[in-house]
Amino acid sequence: MPRLVSHPDEVKIVSRRFGMGAASIDRYLELGGYAAARKCLQQGPEWIISEIKSSNLRGRGGAGFPTGLKWSFVPKTSAKPKYVLVNGDESEPGTCKDHLIFQHDPHAVIEGTIIAGLAIGAKLGFIYLRGEYRGLLEIMEKAIAEAYAKGFLGTHIFGSNTEFQIITHTGAGAYEVGEESALMESLEGKRGIPRIKPPFPAVVGLYGGPTVINNAETIATVPHVIEMGAVAFAAAGSPRNGGTRLVSISGHVERPGVYELPMGYNLKKMIDTVAGGVRGGHKLKAVVPGGSSTPVLLPEEINIGMDFDQVGKAGSMLGSAAVIVIDDRTCMVEFALRTISFYQHESCGWCIPCREGTDWLKKTLTRLHAGFGEAKDIDNIQYIAENMMGRTFCPLGDAAAMPTVAFVKKFRKEFEAHLNGNPCPFAKHAKLVVV
């Protein structure tokens, strides 16, 4: 089981029940669970949406879209049924926060889904988990069965005349379906390729009905917003960035782990203090601040607050708040290659710039890293990546291109050191590659 970590600077809101046995409904109720859903049932949709709006809760999947605003886009009346779809296809390299939510607090996901359903007037919610999370899916399914048994789900939730049902769904291995329109395609039993927008899912979504799609962490945060109140939740974060964030810290630090920190918490302090600094006394070389798709930052660029706006201002993105720490023994060409290999593998192939671009980037970086690159390859990498951006239906093309551009721009010297038949300067990999 994944190790839980703790640090005095943490503000435990979403993770406050981790490690407390809250996967069982009785324990969840003891710890105050389902009070938020009951309250929402009494208060009604307008109150819920206004609370979520004023809490400054923004989407935890990566884009940071204001959750309350997203919910408000769903039409009040609709000829077709409305749906809630919870995105638990957690697949962005570096990100492992939803893993812990499903494991330790499945009822928070259920409760958040109910609240989202009440807000938009949906009677059915789906919780989609990536296929690799089978063990976690079983935890979710057990929790849902418990919620049905208590009457919290069904045709008369909490003894009211309101209906809300939840269906779980397993994926079968695909990063691309984390994109919301591809997620809907996948749930409809198709290949996970993106849809053209508009129309947006809030108007035409799953099975053609209005659909709200939220990341699992966003949904699990919703009951806490209701419980503590929008004002208190907003105050826990930074301006326009309400609450806390589950930060997945990985890579070369002494204490990797998932920490819950206030929005706007300093990135440098996060690495040096919370995660115990760079492992083994080595020097910091680079930080990927928000999952593999976010542009890399240099050590002198990390004295920033971790919220959507401040990381954006520093030229990167908060994304899924997956902080990947890289020490000075790491070859950045190899890191770039490993990053693009992921996107090449995961590109669904629907849009040509992404399908071809990721493939050529991988080929060029493979050759360069092996010491067979030519000087023009470095500019070519830049050129290919820049030509992918903004030219695909979904953000996967950008997700592959943006970090690549940043690697070349910020570590050009290291790319050049691999030219002219020179072996990779980082000893571990300095073996002869026959091409």
Partner 1 sequence: MSEEAISLFSPQLAARLDALAARYPSRRSALVPMLLYAQDEVGYLSDAVINEVAARIGIPELEVRNVASYYSMLHMKPLGKYKVQICTSISCMLRGADEVYERFEKELGLEAGGVTPDGLFSLEKVECIGACSWAPAIQVNYDFQEELTPELVPGILDFYREKDTGKEPHA
Q: Provide the token pair at 68.
A: 């309350």
If the CB atoms of residues 234 and 286 are measured against partner 1, the closer one turns out to be 286
If the CB atoms of residues 171 and 243 are measured against partner 1, the closer one turns out to be 171
E-strand stretches of 97-194 = 124-129, 165-170
Minimum distance between the CB of residue 240 and partner 1, rounded to whole angstroms? 27
If the CB atoms of residues 213 and 225 are measured against partner 1, the closer one turns out to be 213
If the CB atoms of residues 41 and 246 are measured against partner 1, the closer one turns out to be 246
Minimum distance between the CB of residue 209 and partner 1, rounded to whole angstroms? 9
Minimum distance between the CB of residue 375 and partner 1, rounded to whole angstroms? 26
Minimum distance between the CB of residue 3 and partner 1, rounded to whole angstroms? 6
Minimum distance between the CB of residue 344 and partner 1, rounded to whole angstroms? 10
If the CB atoms of residues 132 and 386 are measured against partner 1, the closer one turns out to be 132
Instruction: Give me the residue label for tokens 């910091």.
Output: 284
If the CB atoms of residues 327 and 398 are measured against partner 1, the closer one turns out to be 327
Minimum distance between the CB of residue 325 and partner 1, rounded to whole angstroms? 8
- Cα dihedral 303/308/309/314 (nearest 10): 40
- Cα dihedral 412/413/419/422 (nearest 10): -140
- What gap in Å lies between CA 428 and CA 431, rounded to an integer? 8
Three-class SS state of 232: helix
Q: Is the bond preceding residue 198 a cis peptide, omega within 30 degrees? A: yes
If the CB atoms of residues 3 and 413 are measured against partner 1, the closer one turns out to be 3
| DSSP summary character for residue 195 | P
Q: Provide the token pair at 72.
A: 């408000």
Q: Provide the token pair at 146.
A: 């418990």
Minimum distance between the CB of residue 322 and partner 1, rounded to whole angstroms? 7
If the CB atoms of residues 159 and 425 are measured against partner 1, the closer one turns out to be 425
- What gap in Å lies between CA 218 and CA 213, rounded to an integer? 10
Minimum distance between the CB of residue 435 and partner 1, rounded to whole angstroms? 18
Q: Quote the crossing angle between the two packed helices 332-346 and 396-410, to the nearest 10°.
A: 170
Q: Where are the alpha helices (DSSP H) in 389-425?
A: 396-410, 412-416
* 42 contact partners, CB below 8 Å, separation of at least 6: none
Three-class SS state of 426: coil
Instruction: Give me the residue label for tokens 């919610």.
Output: 125
Closest CA to 434 of 388, 390, 370: 370
Minimum distance between the CB of residue 123 and partner 1, rounded to whole angstroms? 11
Of how many residues is the chain composed? 435
Beta bridge partners of 87: 128, 215
If the CB atoms of residues 216 and 381 are measured against partner 1, the closer one turns out to be 216
Minimum distance between the CB of residue 90 and partner 1, rounded to whole angstroms? 5
Minimum distance between the CB of residue 393 and partner 1, rounded to whole angstroms? 16
Provide the binding-site residues for partner 1, judged by CB under 8 A: 2-3, 81, 90-96, 98-99, 124, 130-135, 167, 169-175, 186-192, 207, 248-252, 256-258, 288, 292, 322, 324-326, 330, 334-335, 338-339, 342, 345-346, 348
Closest CA to 147 of 134, 126, 165, 129: 165
Q: What is the DSSP string of 92-107?
A: STT--HHHHHHHH-HH
If the CB atoms of residues 164 and 335 are measured against partner 1, the closer one turns out to be 335
* 123 contact partners, CB below 8 Å, separation of at least 6: 81, 82, 117, 163, 164, 165
If the CB atoms of residues 129 and 263 are measured against partner 1, the closer one turns out to be 129
Region label for 335, one of left (φ > 0), alpha (ψ between -120 and 50) or beta (otherwise): alpha
Q: Provide the token pair at 238.
A: 């930074």
